[in-house]
Chains A and B, each alone.
Chain A
């Protein structure tokens, strides 16, 4: 192959001059340009294909693409051709090292191709990466220094730890910015470095999966680790608070927390103060009140011999309970705890009775308050038999108390004759006092007039119900039946089936 011919071919057939290219705007464009710069004729090849190239271009293209195979002896040429070949390569300055096509810059945390970054964006990213690397070096240095200190039985100065905390915050920000990684606050806290979290793992097809917030998942993984290690420490106490903030119904974190309080002998009153805030935020939670009950038991052992301290404590507790009940007057857990408190601290005070009174006056139909009143009156050990069931007569209760409570219920019934709570309270009091329903038959009859006649009027279905029982007891079956019939037909038809059942029971 005479090289001369080529030279003339080149002269006769000059390469089409490409329009001067605009400077690249993005990282990807620059890569592409550099690729073409190091791969002569490649762009033309892409545009027109091999047959479309000029002879010179064809030659350049072929020669360029043969460089590697020839150098690696994948294509064997005769000595002469080989010499010719390399001479040409040298003469034309064909590139021996070329950039590869389609370099991938990768994606950022949003899934955006970094190739589409502008230069300043890439510069910022690279700078951040460099910063992160530098911080990581310092971070490792910290770990090594701390290990060394610990092996000498000392700890690093607080200053170093604080710096490390700052450093990790910075690293976390960088990681989030660069890679969308969200290292949790615990992983960032050198205090937790010695704990290997136990993350919860489950298959993708698990049932009732919850989209846990990252912070919760992280906190739980540390909680599992410290609970398994039976660690009772200030930091694990703080960890329980994190978990409780996100999942107050966690059924063992509370038990664990109590164990920490007891083991570290932390002041119960501080714990209660903290708990007050949690209780206000989670009115319907049961675990909070169980925890409070454990705290009460625990605290009681230290104050049981001091009646004044017990009274003080009962007072501060009932004050808080009143606050909660002002938010939610029928909160079951709160009333349950209140009973527990009264029994435990022997707080059978006139104050309790007065509380029920004022709550009932606020809302005659607050059955929780009625129920608490029954408890306060009939479980007070000074005037009742221990263990006497609410459904049975207790001879120890003084008759004045029975009289007082009967009068109380009657008074409230008169204010609202259809109030279920007051009527059932009245029935309960009579059972406790060993008194028959007939003792209030006349009282009930004031709410019923002209039964069975055209101008019949009933102000209370509960009165009519009670009267039927009184008539029955007195042997007046017909009248007892009439009461039930009128309830079924006219005064309480929603319970027709029940009244019919009661009728069938009359004998």
Chain B
């Protein structure tokens, strides 16, 4: 069962760079029209992939990215998913901001900042207060989050992804502002968030959209990362919390570990390639047939019990295990080999599974996983941010820079309470 050719599979860095530069410089084909609502997501994949690959952007490209992202900001807080959802002028408030778009907007602003000075002002132009208040409105009374506000109500599934996005957005903008400070904004209900996450664990130890639905590796990642980011926040700013969110938010840790540890399996390349398309279950080797001595050439990951291997689940599982300090549950080498030999595509990028053409989503998560597993001249990846560690650091610099400049502005205004005055004045005007 050892790999037939002794040559180590490699990340074809040049091809990946080509792939992402093509995505960056030219139009995505019409087939991507059904992704029109998530262009900010794709923009993030493109910018962040080039960052992981250490391909510098020109000053012009960086300025263009900033201008475009900021043009999608909604006047009542948050960012719209694409120009299709964003209106200007008197209709601007009729656009619609989206929680995922907001995360991707902020992270792009951070990633395209180069010098220390640029990094500190990366969030200049972001309406922090409106955004955080909008985020709070997206939370439901059960602690879950919606994806958009529709007629003032949080709308969309009670999806664990939204909890993750809320947690990371909060991390990116909230900072250490104390109550009473002019820039203090009422926080989301973090206890409610933790409670909600705690309530969605399923009978098999996994995590689903709700506790009765099917456990899913992607949701598990989102839950774990959401909790991890709450902890990162408190580690920095309120030391001495009684117990980490990660401990409080997981009802059955050993069950969750078993679920996550079960996501990978020996991938039987030959059998999978020759098998017919419709099969939905992964192929199992005969028990005991594989042993470590002979080496396991390929290890694939799935998101649900018995499902097939898929590039993106390598990220969701390995990222989760990293955040739980359980990296040693799997062997990074054969896991990487699966990506590099099975789903890496000749023209650059990664496909979903064997034989699939590359698409932006799988290409990005494939690349980030290779970076996470420590491979091939890529920047180190941050498991919680799903981008380079360098990028995650820039975000913190951006946040601190924004808070400082807000503080400076309010000091300059002096004790006039100018903000309050103008706030009230606009309200009066609105009533008229």
Measured between beta carbons, the chain A residues less than 8 angstroms from B265 are 494
| Inter-subunit contact A391/B287 (CB<8 Å) | no
Query: What is the size, in residues, of chain B's interface with A at 8 Å between Cβ atoms?
Result: 90
Q: Is the CB of B68 within 8 A of A205?
A: yes
- Stretch among B10-18, B36-44, B129-137 lining the A interface: B36-44
Give the contacting residue for A246; candidates B33, B64, B68, B328; CB below 8 A. B33
Per-residue interface assignment for chain B, residues 281 to 320, with 1 indicating a CB less than 8 Å from any chain A CB and 0 otherwise: 1001001101110001001000011110000000000000
Q: Is the CB of B46 within 8 A of A200?
A: no
Looking at B22-30, B171-179, B399-407, B421-429, the stretch in contact with chain A turns out to be: B22-30
Query: Across the interface, do B261 and A495 meet the contact criterion of CB distance under 8 Å?
Result: yes
Partner of B296, one of A200, A209, A494: A494
> Roughly how many angstroms separate A318 CA and B157 CA in the complex, as a whole number?
21
* Contact across chains for B213 and A339 when beta carbons are under 8 A apart: yes
| Residues of A with C-beta under 8 A to B46 | 207-208
Roughly how many angstroms separate A232 CA and B261 CA in the complex, as a whole number? Answer: 51
A347-381 contact mask (Cβ, 8 Å, vs B): 1 or 0: 00000000000000001011110111011001100
Provide the residues of chain B in CB contact with A206, threshold 8 Å.
64, 68, 83
| B33–A216 touching, CB < 8 Å | yes
Say whether A249 contacts B38, CB under 8 Å: yes
CB atoms of B326 and A335 under 8 A apart: no
Partner of A251, one of B37, B262, B304: B37
Cβ of B412 < 8 Å from any Cβ of A? no
B192 within 8 A of A: no
Given contacts A228-B87, A495-B329, contact A251 B33 (CB under 8 A): no
| CB contact under 8 A between A379 and B65, given known A247-B36, A251-B81 | no
B287 and A418: CB pair below 8 A? yes
Interface stretch, picked from B203-211, B233-241, B371-379, is B203-211
Report yes or no: B281 in contact with A363, Cβ–Cβ below 8 A: yes
A498 to B257 CA separation, bound complex (whole angstroms): 9
Q: Given A198-B87, A216-B33, A336-B213, do A255 and B94 touch, yes or no (CB 8 Å)?
A: no
Interface-lining segment among A34-42, A137-145, A424-432: A424-432
**Cβ-defined contact, A250 with B36, below 8 A:** yes
Complex CA distance for A248 and B265, rounded to whole angstroms: 34
Are B306 and A365 neighbours in the complex by a CB distance under 8 Å?
yes
User: Which A residue sits closest to B61, measured CB to CB?
Assistant: A205
Among B221-263, those with CB < 8 Å from A are: 251-252, 255, 257-258, 261-262
- Interface contact A210-B296, CB-CB below 8 Å: no
B252 and A247 contacting across the interface, CB-CB below 8 Å: no
Nearest-CB distance from A67 to chain B (Å)?
55
Is B32 at the interface (CB under 8 A from chain A)?
A: yes
B291 touching A493 by the CB < 8 A rule? yes
Partner-binding segment picked from A117-125, A174-182, A307-315, A455-463: A455-463
A339 CB to closest chain B CB (Å) equals: 6
Give the CA-CA distance A366 to B282 in the complex, in Å. Answer: 11
| A424 adjacent to B203 (CB under 8 Å) | yes
Is A290 within 8 A of B156, CB to CB?
yes
**Docked-complex contact A391 and B34, CB < 8 angstroms:** no
Q: In this complex, which of B67, B86, B251, B281 has the most chain A Cβ atoms within 10 angstroms of its Cβ?
A: B281
Q: Is B331 close to A, CB under 8 A?
A: yes
Asked whether, in the complex, the Cβ of B39 is within 8 Å of the Cβ of A374, the reply is: no
B205 nearest CB across to chain A (Å): 8
- Report the Cα distance A420→B33, complex, angstroms: 39
Given contacts A389-B251, A420-B306, A428-B204, contact A249 B328 (CB under 8 A): no
Contacts of B65 in A (CB 8 A): 207
- Pair A365/B211 contact, Cβ less than 8 Å: no
Measured between alpha carbons, how far is A502 from B86 in the docked complex, in Å? 51
What is the size, in residues, of chain A's interface with B at 8 Å between Cβ atoms? 76
> Interface segment, B113-121, B147-155, B162-170, B339-347?
B147-155
Asked whether A419 lies within 8 Å of B157 as measured between CB atoms, the reply is no
Instruction: Choose among A208, A216, A391, A420 the residue with the greatest number of B CB atoms under 10 Å from its CB.
Output: A208
Residues of B within 8 A of A375 (CB): 212-213
Chain B's closest residue to A201 (CB) is: B83
Whether B61 and A419, one on each chain, are in contact in the complex, defined by CB atoms closer than 8 angstroms, is: no
Complex Cα distance, B39 from A224, in Å, reads 17
Please give, as numbers and ranges, the residues of chain A lying within 8 Å of B43 by CB-CB distance. Answer: 207-208
B287 touches A212 (CB 8 A): no
Residues of A with C-beta under 8 A to B201: 389-391
In Å, the complex CA distance between A50 and B83 comes to 63
The answer to the question of A18 belonging to the interface, with a C-beta cut-off of 8 Å to chain B, is no
Report if B358 contacts A (CB, 8 A): no
In the complex with contacts A335-B213, A494-B296, A424-B261 CB distance below 8 A: no
Q: Give the most central of A203, A329, A418, A498: most B CB within 10 Å.
A: A498
**Contact mask A178-207 → B, CB, 8 Å, 1/0?**
000000000000000000001011110111
Provide the residues of chain B in CB contact with A330, threshold 8 Å: 280, 304, 307
Whether a CB of chain B sits under 8 angstroms from the CB of A421 is yes
- A375 and B202 CA atoms in complex are apart in Å by 10
* Contacting residues, chain A, for B71 (C-beta < 8 A): 202
Q: Are B203 and A428 in contact (CB under 8 A)?
A: yes
Residues of chain A lying within 8 A (CB to CB) of residue B102: none
Would you call A460 and B287 a contact (CB within 8 A)?
yes
A496 within 8 A of B: yes
Q: In the docked arrangement, what's the CA distance between A184 and B98, Å?
A: 29
Is A251 a contact of B85 with CB atoms below 8 Å?
yes
How many Å from the CB of B294 to the closest CB on chain A? Answer: 10
In the bound complex, residues from chain A placing their C-beta under 8 Å from that of B141 are none
Contact assessment for B288 and A203 in the assembled complex, using a CB-CB cutoff below 8 Å: no
Chain B residues lying within 8 Å of A389, measured Cβ to Cβ, are 199, 201, 211, 251
Q: Which of A201, A290, A329, A374 contacts B203 (CB 8 A)?
A: A374
Q: A366 contacts which chain B residues (CB < 8 A)?
A: 280, 306
Map CB proximity to A onto B82-93 as digits: 1 under 8 Å, 0 otherwise.
Answer: 111111000100
Q: Are A490 and B288 in contact (CB under 8 A)?
A: yes
B216 nearest CB neighbor, chain A only: A332
- With A391-B201, A418-B284, A428-B204 given, is the CB distance from A200 to B42 under 8 Å? no
Q: B281 and A365: CB pair below 8 A?
A: yes
B residues 57-101 near A (Cβ < 8 Å) are: 60-61, 64-65, 67-69, 71, 81-87, 91, 94, 96, 98
**Chain A contacts of B257 at CB under 8 A?**
498, 501
Contact A374–B290 (Cβ < 8 Å): no
Q: How far is the CB of A465 from chain B (nearest CB, A)?
A: 8
Cβ contact within 8 Å between B214 and A367: yes
> What A residues does B27 contact at CB under 8 A?
209-211
Question: Can you identify 23 A-B contacts, CB atoms within 8 angstroms?
Answer: A200-B83, A202-B68, A202-B71, A207-B46, A208-B23, A210-B28, A210-B33, A210-B39, A228-B87, A247-B33, A250-B84, A251-B85, A365-B281, A366-B280, A390-B211, A421-B306, A427-B203, A428-B204, A461-B287, A489-B291, A494-B296, A495-B262, A498-B257
Q: Using CB atoms and an 8 Å cutoff, list the residues of chain A in contact with chain B.
A: 198, 200-203, 205-213, 216, 220, 224, 227-228, 246-252, 255, 286, 290, 329-330, 332, 335-336, 339, 363, 365-368, 370-372, 374-375, 378-379, 389-391, 418-421, 424-425, 427-428, 431-432, 458-461, 489-498, 500-501
Going nearest first, the 8 A-B pairs with the smallest beta carbon separation are A428-B203, A207-B43, A205-B64, A498-B261, A424-B204, A365-B306, A208-B42, A371-B214
List 7 additional contacts besides A207-B47, A366-B306; criterion CB under 8 Å: A249-B34, A290-B157, A330-B280, A339-B212, A391-B252, A420-B306, A491-B287
